[in-house]
Structure 1
């Protein structure tokens, strides 16, 4: 489970910023923390939902993009010859080019709290660290490994990290992560941590109207019945859905064959990259009930944009609610009605539905969620730009509020920041 994410000198973020799922002190009315860690003296709670609000270009999407970049680098490593991980520094500060980009995660894997982070320079990984936390009468930290490429002996390994650590460190390139290299080398503990990232994160940026993609995931996860049930309950007019498979037409096969040859030529220097295109395609068929009770089939494209968006977002939501993990969605309300968005958030807040400790992290402009009182103050975050143009991230829990305060009205009234500063557009139009 995700506990905290920190980043610095990445895109619009200059100074270190932190987003946390660890609950703040105080009474709760909307959410119950999940307790992945328990000790004799205390319980460590983690929240199921966090929402980020902010104006356009405030940087809220950059928090999610930074998390995705970090996780995907851990999973896949640097496959291209050019090192790009440290290329997205804060461009408005001249000195930032010479300061590394930093990412750090606190997470729970295999009933253990870990902290893993990196500092990426322009051409190499400058630092990398992994800590393990133990909870008892006191909270203690053990260093599993720390890498600092500026030192004569770059790697320091803690006693608790068993395995061929020194050999693996010698195999790790300057542009590669030791954690990823160790997982490739079948390191026992680090391989399990790598698997956590591989199987527990799902990212969704913008509405993706990809019928075949959604059909494949619905079929693989056996979600036809669940998706059908939700669509029926949400009054879309759809009684049920069905995933189908059919042969590609001859023209499509010719195009894919040509593309396969082109991609193979481009990637011929990298034996790990292979391109395979299917002979068949999957799709989604919807069924509506006629007045006489018959199921009438419709193609996916015959449904409204909003309905297609709902099916597209329900698929990863139901998968993560079934297996657990963290789902990250940028602009969750994209093409969805406000009430639909609210219902999706409620699924993660309901412990009878979310019994596996699934988490949802999303950015949004949808203020109806604030007015619906389905999120506690420590689940709401705001992002805005400073005078220097750098993004600042802060939680609603940093404000003093009364129980009777309307969060939606307060946000729209500018009390919490995170709103666009709009000048006199009519006069600007006349000048242009």
Structure 2
């Protein structure tokens, strides 16, 4: 579970911002909270959060920081000497051009709270630290300052492993297989944390694989589709594997143009999906899902497998940019209610999204500290991040109305010129 994370000197974020999933003490909407046991100092966490803000205010950058942090943790072990680390400092102020980017993150896995942080520039890791909490005590595992390591446990073993860690490689990334205490932390980044650039990037394979595991899963998918008023009587899907050499070059080019990524794998997985509707005379019609169903129906279907797996099988932190794309506001509200339900979300997974859908502000489904805003400061042009709880102390105000009036910031400052 995610507790909080901080970002500094990353894209539009110059000064340190901190995003927190720690709730306030108010008792409203208790179903939106995860009860945390056996972790001193953390008793409850939020199940979801939404980030609003004008275009170019830094919403995406705030969550993209998690994606980059995850990438460096997972992949820097493969960096060769001299390879550059992905480095995107705040460029609108010359003072930040040479400053390090800094990430810090608190999370819980296997009933233990950890804090992991690192800072770096394009050429080297400048600092790195891993801490866990036992009882009310903070226990440091290691502290790194560039090429120097201070090990607080298993000193000889850690220093032996660190000798093989390049100056552009995270120690956690390099030694996660060799040093057992790193295992749960790396697992959290590798498995539990899931970032998606856009809802459009979520294909249908999650849900096809989920519903093909057993009939019960398929029935659940069909029921949820019908709860959402899609009127689908049956659905079937398969995943096929094709060799790259068997696919025409023009098709490969279309796939690469669409995904903005080169197809380097030896095989390509494709899906075939059909849906069944009943005609007025009782006859059932089978249709190609992508051709017959609406874009919103396809999007909702694609999300279901990902969400149900997070509800039933593995605790996940799902981070999705542009969550409102092609989904009706009522469907989005329905998804958040599924996450907030103790009956549905049995694994206590968390959902964090960016959106422009202000209907969510009037739907009465969030606590104030679940609602966040980003705003571009006029003078410095950097991103400011804050929650509604910091601004609004009254529970009887119309949040959506006040948002549009500019009370909370996070709306574009449009000047009507040149019209």
**Normalised TM-score (structure 1):** 0.86
Match of 1:183 in 2: 176
Identify if the C-alpha distance between structure 1 residues 428 and 287 changes in structure 2 by more than 3 Å, giving closer, same or farther: same
Q: Where does 1:286-365 land on structure 2 (aligned, <5 Å)?
A: 286-302=275-291, 303-322=293-312, 323-365=314-356
d(CA) in 1 for partners of 2:405, 2:369: 20
Identify if the C-alpha distance between structure 1 residues 234 and 219 changes in structure 2 by more than 3 Å, giving closer, same or farther: closer
Match of 1:232 in 2: 226
Superposition CA RMSD, Å:
2.7
Given that 1:30 and 1:375 are in contact with CA atoms closer than 8 Å, whether structure 2 keeps it comes out as no
Given that 2:196 and 2:202 are in contact with CA atoms closer than 8 Å, whether structure 1 keeps it comes out as no
Identify if the C-alpha distance between structure 1 residues 250 and 157 changes in structure 2 by more than 3 Å, giving closer, same or farther: closer
Indicate whether 1:420 and 2:396 are aligned: no
- Gaps (5+ residues) in structure 2? 254-262
Given that 1:163 and 1:188 are in contact with CA atoms closer than 8 Å, whether structure 2 keeps it comes out as no
Aligned length: 404
SS at match of 2:163: helix
Match of 2:102 in 1: 102
Pick the aligned partner of 1:193 from 185, 200, 207. 185
Indicate whether 1:381 and 2:372 are aligned: yes
1:134 CA drift (Å) = 2.4
Pick the aligned partner of 1:367 from 354, 358, 365. 358
Post-superposition Cα deviations, 1:80-124, rounded to whole Å, max 9, x if no partner, equal: 556444520000110111110011110001110000011011211
Given that 1:35 and 1:46 are in contact with CA atoms closer than 8 Å, whether structure 2 keeps it comes out as yes
Identify if the C-alpha distance between structure 1 residues 147 and 20 changes in structure 2 by more than 3 Å, giving closer, same or farther: same
SS at match of 1:351: coil
d(CA) in 2 for partners of 1:231, 1:26: 35
SS at match of 1:340: helix
1:290 CA drift (Å) = 2.2
d(CA) in 2 for partners of 1:54, 1:42: 31
Match of 1:51 in 2: 50
Indicate whether 1:166 and 2:159 are aligned: yes
SS at match of 1:147: strand
Please say which of residues 312-321 and 93-102 is displaced more in the overlay. Answer: 312-321
Post-superposition Cα deviations, 1:58-79, rounded to whole Å, max 9, x if no partner, equal: 1011011111111122123254
d(CA) in 1 for partners of 2:227, 2:333: 14
Post-superposition Cα deviations, 1:273-318, rounded to whole Å, max 9, x if no partner, equal: 983204x732221111222444321112221111112112223222
SS at match of 1:145: strand
Match of 1:75 in 2: 74
d(CA) in 2 for partners of 1:248, 1:292: 39
Given that 2:273 and 2:290 are in contact with CA atoms closer than 8 Å, whether structure 1 keeps it comes out as no
Please say which of residues 42-51 and 86-95 is displaced more in the overlay. Answer: 42-51
Identify if the C-alpha distance between structure 1 residues 395 and 212 changes in structure 2 by more than 3 Å, giving closer, same or farther: closer
d(CA) in 2 for partners of 1:101, 1:43: 28
Identify if the C-alpha distance between structure 1 residues 146 and 91 changes in structure 2 by more than 3 Å, giving closer, same or farther: same
d(CA) in 2 for partners of 1:20, 1:331: 20
Match of 2:146 in 1: 149
- Gaps (5+ residues) in structure 1? 260-272
1:214 CA drift (Å) = 4.2
Q: Where does 1:100-139 land on structure 2 (aligned, <5 Å)?
A: 100-135=100-135, 139=136
d(CA) in 2 for partners of 1:206, 1:408: 24
**Normalised TM-score (structure 2):** 0.89
d(CA) in 2 for partners of 1:226, 1:374: 24
Q: Where does 1:257-268 land on structure 2 (aligned, <5 Å)?
A: none
